[in-house]
Amino acid sequence: MALLLIGYDLNREGPNYSANNKRLRDKISEMFGTRWNSLDSTWLVVTDMEPLDVANALWAVMDGNDELLVAPIAPGSAYAGFNEKSAAWLEKHL
């Protein structure tokens, strides 16, 4: 199992922004049982999937002008300032 970072920016504000954001968030929630989302457009997920496979699956529900990054999280990563629940998740999975 790997820990992957998913970061995205939906660049087209407007009437469909909320629907597109919900669709993407729902897709991430559907794909990954173990996930963390205490930052607006940043997720950490535990998965056996390769980063490219995750990116391809998520890109399928995004617009062509959006931005997406899927990258492995390496041992030794650090964090600060999160509430107790978020910090506990990070402590367990980092």
Q: What's 16's domain CATH number? A: 3.30.70.240
Q: Please tell me the total count of domains within the chain.
A: 1
Stated as kind and residue range, the H or E segment containing 20 is helix 17-31
16 has pLDDT over 90: no
% the chain with pLDDT above 70: 97
Distance from chain centroid for Cα 84: 20
- Mean pLDDT over residues 20-36, rounded? 95
Residue partners of 79: CB distance under 8 A and separation at least 6: 87, 90, 94
Structural domain range at position 6:
2-93
Instruction: Tell me the pTM.
Output: 0.91
* Phi, psi at 90, each rounded to 5°: -65, -45
State residue 15's pLDDT score. 67
**pLDDT tens digits, 57-89:** 999 999 888 999 999 998 889 999 999 999 999
Q: Look at residue 69 in the predicted model and tell me its pLDDT.
A: 98
